[in-house]
Amino acid sequence: MARLALLSVSNKTNLIDLARSLVEEFDFDLISSGGTAQALKDAGLPVTKVADYTGSPEILGGRVKTLHPRIHGGILARRDVPQDITDLENNQIRPIDLVVVNLYPFEETIAKPGVTLAEAVEQIDIGGPAMLRASSKNFAHLTVLCDPAQYNEYLEELRQNNGEASLEFRQKAALKGFLHTASYDQAIAQALTCQFASYLAGTQNYNLSGTQLQSLRYGENPHQPAAWYQTGATPTGWAAATKLQGKELSYNNLVDLEAARRIIAEFTDTPAATIIKHTNPCGTALGSSISEAYEKAFNADSTSAFGGIVALNRPIDAATASELTKTFLECVVAPGCEADAQEILGKKSNVRVLILPDLSSGPKETVKAIAGGFLVQTSDDIIADTSQWQVVTERQPTNDELAELLFAWKVCKHVKSNAIVVTSDRTTLGVGAGQMNRVGSVKIALEQAGEKAKGATLASDGFFPFDDSVKTAAAAGITAIVQPGGSLRDKDSIKAANDLGLLMVLTGVRHFLH
């Protein structure tokens, strides 16, 4: 007797080629449901509708089609268990050797603007996941395919193994099936969490799922395997970026690009540029044009800029492209790139140039793995509001000083703690990042700024526990400080600022970054 294949797919890519090979090369009989059966019939292939095979019509507008003992018995039967074979014979059920199934496009549906809850609910597949799980469970006796990318590999398995798929292939395919249903259920749970958020306060479960976009050469170091995953069915964020040129992105590239995106997203009204090394900014600046902003950011620390990651908040023009080609850079990202600029950048073919039209849209939560679990927090996307800041010194800020303080504060937010940033003319002059004590970060930032620290502004991501950093800053020529405040010794720092003629502003918000 011919073997039996059940085909029931939403995504019909390469379906006809697979089905034709099954029938003509390997003598399979085909059963199928709904639109899949019609597609096979239109292609001239012999197919039996599920309703005809089971003797039960589709009901409830198609909500019930494949949920039937003749389907699930044929899928779940163990060929090496005599009672299972007897049950099949007594119920006139044929064992099914191949299940090809993929699921209703739920994620694509909810991604559409204005989709209603009722429309989304109708795209929650029931029969598909049931078949996918059942056939994945019974991998010892049949094969399940849930992705058109598997079809050719499966056919090659049959050609090389006398018409049979190896156990190793079936196991791999079963795992893919379970991962697919897990991802599908997670997408539904996330969508309904948004819809029913008021019912789910204090939920005890947090699930992560993603689809691999590509394997990466390695992770942070060559001995660490790594891969890049996309959340959701519709590409967003870096998955939606267009790479105009350059080598494949690495793990470290992507981490640094995200750090660059977070900084550049702070600035929308004025052309801005940032250069990132190891997730910290070595130069960030505003300018009257994007080329001026980049030049200022580059000159802020031209040594560290070598091999850096550049983010721009305006499309790349020819003038900027010419400047970008003057040094070695790993990546450049911008919301656009003019044709003549692309031609200029093409002369540096190894630099990765990405276009990401929406640089401001990022994750609402951050996840960090720890031994035995992971931590979840909302993203630090609070918008700085200078009207809520407190001027605690006798000297009051001018409008220009307040704008400089805001610039320094926005940059400092994205520097690893303990973070100190020195700026002037909306340009970073010195950055102290990731030190074990705040005084150390102050000294590093001031040393980088050098003589330019005179008349400059200093930002700190956390409060000053003592007045020593204020005195060190004043001695270097700093005239204005912005910090969150909140120390038991705030009065000491404020007194030191007053005694030394400094301006000090407290934001009331801390921006640690670990």
Dihedral sign, CA of 183, 186, 190, 196? positive
DSSP label of 292? H
DSSP 379-446: ---PPP-GGG-EE-SSSPPPHHHHHHHHHHHHHHTTSPSS-EEEEETTEEEEEE-S-SSHHHHHHHHH
- The span from the CA of 379 to the CA of 377, in Å, is 6
The residues near 431 (Cβ < 8 Å, ≥ 6 apart) are 280, 281, 282, 301, 415, 419, 420, 421, 422, 444, 445, 448
247: Cα separation from own chain's centroid: 20
State yes or no: is 278 an active-site residue: yes
The strand pairing partners of 267, in sequence order, are none
Which residue bears the tokens 């670990």?
514
Q: 41, 278, 471, 495: which one is catalytic?
A: 278
The answer to whether 165 touches 135, Cβ cutoff 8 Å, is no
Q: 137, 172, 243, 471: which one is catalytic?
A: 137
Q: Quickly list H helices, 113-231.
A: 117-122, 127-137, 151-160, 167-195
Q: Name the nearest CA neighbour of 375 among 174, 188, 228, 514.
A: 514
Amino acid identity for residue 389 in this structure: W
The residues near 303 (Cβ < 8 Å, ≥ 6 apart) are none
The answer to whether 65 touches 125, Cβ cutoff 8 Å, is no
State yes or no: is 454 an active-site residue: no
The answer to whether 58 touches 33, Cβ cutoff 8 Å, is yes
β-pairing, 272-277 vs 280-286, is: antiparallel
Q: Which residues are catalytically annotated?
A: 137, 278
